[in-house]
Structure 1
Amino acid sequence: MAEKKSFNWISLLVGIVLIVGSVFAFMNPVATFLTLAIMLGIVAVVRGLMLIIAFFRVNDRTTIKVWFFLIVGILLTILGIIFLFRPAFAAVVFAIMVAVWFIVDAVNNLINIDRIKPAGKGIYFLSIVLNLLLLVGGIIIALHPWIVGISIPIIIGIALMASGIQHLVLAFFGPRDLV
């Protein structure tokens, strides 16, 4: 039995909103990243307060786990407040975290590169080259953290555009009840 195809206004509206969001992300990558930092700050404050409230609601406050809730809750709340009032700081912190991750991962992979030798010389040398590139990339990000701040909004813009186009296609050609 063939599916009934008709126009879906909700998919059309969602598609338009997503495409407009993608255009905004492409046109204003710094503003997009700062907005994400503010959103992350709000989430951190809310989650931190939830952990602090959980600490005071628990009757047995002697376990390490319960005290960990309080400590993490306070740290998250403070970090969230900093992110809210200094979103550029959030961008730098995130970029440095990415840089450290890349550098540590590359160094670890290069230290353990001998494990790749059984796969063949080509894979072995490719792995060395890719890990050296990862190491260089991590160092570049550490020296220029705004690279991450600009690339993430572009990735978000691409994702929003792809999803928006998909919704537009569904609006015209998809089943009516699919959003």
Structure 2
Amino acid sequence: MKGKKTIHVITWITGILTVLLGVYAIVRPMRTFLTIGWILGALLLVNGIELVILALAKEKKEIGACILGVVEGLAGIILLFSGLQRFLTDIMAAYLVGASILIYGIFQIAGGVKCLKVSKGKGILAIVCGVLSVIVSIMAFNHPVLTMVSVGYMIAFSVLMQGINMIVLAVNLGK
């Protein structure tokens, strides 16, 4: 019974903290997006250290994996301690979002054209959505700051919804 109560309390705490983080992210969407460079730097550093440890821990040392781990760790350190590199990473992330939307739109249009033979309504809807995606991607390429803010809001709402879900879970755990 004590373990269940502990889980209940932890779920409440993490839910409330996640909601607060979501609210902060809504208030600061650009700052939310600009954390991508920090997160990527930390992931590269941790993964680099892990690669080195795993490569050296094996009976037959893997020098290639060790070198890759060192390079990856150094890339993480550079990202964490170089504001310019983080900024460039964040800018590239904005353009990658635009590229992803463009590719999605192209596939939507192609799928819509194929679907026209089966269902005109579904085909036309897919083509319209694809064209809208291509237009959004063009906007993303031309206005990367708008893309950053938009993605920041998407992250914020996602975090907020996760926090609300955790609080609902905590309420249901208490029953």
TM-score by length of 1: 0.70
Q: Work out which of the residue numbers 166, 171, 174 in structure 1 matches 2:172.
A: 174
Could you tell me which runs of 5 or more consecutive residues in structure 1 were left unpaired when the two chains were aligned. none
Change (3 A) 1:53 1:102: same
User: Paired residue for 1:83?
Assistant: 79
Query: RMSD across aligned C-alpha pairs, in angstroms?
Result: 3.3
Alpha-carbon distance between aligned partners in 2 of 1:163 and 1:112, rounded to the nearest angstrom: 32
User: Paired residue for 1:45?
Assistant: 45
Higher RCO (CA-CA < 8 Å; seq separation 6+): 1
Alpha-carbon distance between aligned partners in 2 of 1:119 and 1:16, rounded to the nearest angstrom: 48
Change (3 A) 1:21 1:145: same
Q: Which moved more, 1:17-26 or 1:157-166?
A: 157-166
Alpha-carbon distance between aligned partners in 1 of 2:161 and 2:111, rounded to the nearest angstrom: 38
For these two proteins, the number of residue pairs brought into alignment is 166
Segments of 4+ in structure 1 off by > 6 A? none
C-alpha displacement at 1:37, in angstroms? 2.3
C-alpha displacement at 1:51, in angstroms? 3.6
TM-score by length of 2: 0.71
SS of residue paired to 2:116: helix
Matches within 5 A, 1:101-116: 101-111=100-110, 113-116=112-115
Residues 86-145 of structure 1, C-alpha deviation per residue, up to 9 Å, x if partnerless?
A: 322222111111222222333344456542222222222222211111111112111222
User: Paired residue for 1:19?
Assistant: 19
Counterpart of 2:150 in structure 1: which amino acid? Answer: S
Could you tell me which runs of 5 or more consecutive residues in structure 2 were left unpaired when the two chains were aligned. none
Among all aligned residue pairs of Structure 1 and Structure 2, give the percentage whose two residues are the same amino acid: 25
User: Paired residue for 2:33?
Assistant: 33
The structure with the greater share of residues assigned to helix is: 2
